[in-house]
A = this chain, B = another copy of it.
Amino acid sequence: MKINPDERMSMGTSYKKRGVDYELLADRFTLPTEYYQSEAIYQQEIAKIFHQSWLMACREEEIPNPGDYITVPVGDESILLVRDTEGNIRAHFNVCRHRGTRLCSMEKGSFRSHEIQCPYHAWRYHLNGNLKAAPMMKELAGFRNEDYPLFSAHVGLWGGFVFINLAEEPTPFEEDLRPLLGKFQAWHLPELRIAHKIEYSLNCNWKLIIQNYQECYHCPGVHPLLSKWTPFRGAVHDCFEGSVIGGYMEYAEKGGGMTMDGKPASVPVCDVSGPDLQKVHYYSIYPNLLLSPHPDFVLYHRIRSLAIDKIKNDCFFLLHPDVISDKSRMERFQSAIEFWDMTNRQDWHVCEQMQLGLRSRRFKRGPYSGQEDILHSIDKEVLKALGHSPPEKFSPKS
């Protein structure tokens, strides 16, 4: 059943209702191209964004038992996420305090002996990071084990997601992600499990993926099927600044789904009901998580920036364990995986084309459309994090 456009209007979903001040937008231009091409700015982003922000590292289910670990690359840095003997998740810099050897070279595994041993000179640490034993170091005057615990990173937990922060004194987790805290309770996020993962390698800057995710101005041309199931004028943003930015889109038809045939991929997740059955949510948890609760599953992307123009983007699908263990439901669910893999690849192509185009010496900046006003907000977060002033006034003829 088609929803009448006017009805959608009256539901407050039209972009016209968002109170966009087009006069103001008239001088909203993209970031200057050096923000996508300058190695110096990229190094600032690593120091001031990736080493200062809350980064989504993994799901709690990935390290369920004491001793279980996963290594999380953050640029050149490697973080060792481990569940300690008391069941708490610890984040250690993956580097021995003795001479700096990387402690763990595997992507994931389990420390069965409940201690972390350096492969080089056999210094041994407790799972909580304290130095347990350093061979023969006691012979050194003044050496004390308690001076050499593993360097630790901060850990934050929400909805089954494990976040880390490499800063020594980060913004408190609950403060930074406040807009998320009450959200999506009907989904029972901590109870969901990874049903599928797709790994992508892309040749573009990390910001282009977030920007791509937050506007649907490109949808009619790039995503014919997505635009049919969720018309782009049905996009609503409700978080405009800070680390959580985003909103939702509405299905054109009642009982729609993001699948190849536009029907739901599965039963509603846990307690999802009412208006939530009609919405697909799209939130950027800046700078590396794109979170998309659907009525019938949760999709998220974890972005890892490898270079100014290279990212690894892993796309995960969460479902309730009861669905995952139901073979026929999982067969039907393939249609959501197929739909999003197709849609992702459509996005990756244009993001890579944009990265190439931004190399031009002639192009400096371009004008955002009203549909892209939220990108201007994201750009401002980047500038704020870097401590840069807004770029100078710009005219297309200058």
Give residues in A with beta carbon < 8 Å to B: 22-23, 25-26, 30, 33, 47, 51, 76-78, 93-103, 105, 117, 119-122, 134-137, 139-143, 147-148, 151, 166, 217-218, 220-222, 349-350, 353-354, 356-363, 366-371, 396-397
Give complex CA distance A361, B397 in Å. Answer: 43
Give complex CA distance A37, B396 in Å. Answer: 37
The distance from the CB of A139 to the nearest CB of chain B, in whole angstroms, is 5
Given contacts A33-B100, A143-B367, 16 further A-B contacts (CB under 8 A): A23-B141, A77-B360, A93-B360, A94-B357, A95-B357, A95-B362, A99-B354, A100-B357, A102-B356, A105-B353, A120-B221, A120-B353, A136-B217, A136-B369, A140-B367, A151-B362
Contact A137 to B367, CB < 8 A, known contacts A222-B119, A356-B102: yes
B363 touches A119 (CB 8 A): no
A135 touches B217 (CB 8 A): yes
A119 touches B357 (CB 8 A): no
A119 touches B23 (CB 8 A): no
Q: Which residue of B is nearest A346, CB measured?
A: B119
B100 touches A354 (CB 8 A): yes
Q: CB-CB < 8 A to A25: which residues of B?
A: 140-141
Indicate the member of A77, A222, A366 with the most B CB atoms within 10 Å: A366
Q: CB-CB < 8 A to A23: which residues of B?
A: 141
B95 touches A140 (CB 8 A): no
Among B353, B359, B369, point to the contact of A140 (Cβ < 8 A): B369
Give complex CA distance A41, B124 in Å. Answer: 32
The distance from the CB of A22 to the nearest CB of chain B, in whole angstroms, is 5
Q: CB-CB < 8 A to A94: which residues of B?
A: 357, 360
Q: CB-CB < 8 A to A103: which residues of B?
A: 357
Give complex CA distance A119, B352 in Å. Answer: 11
Q: CB-CB < 8 A to A368: which residues of B?
A: 99
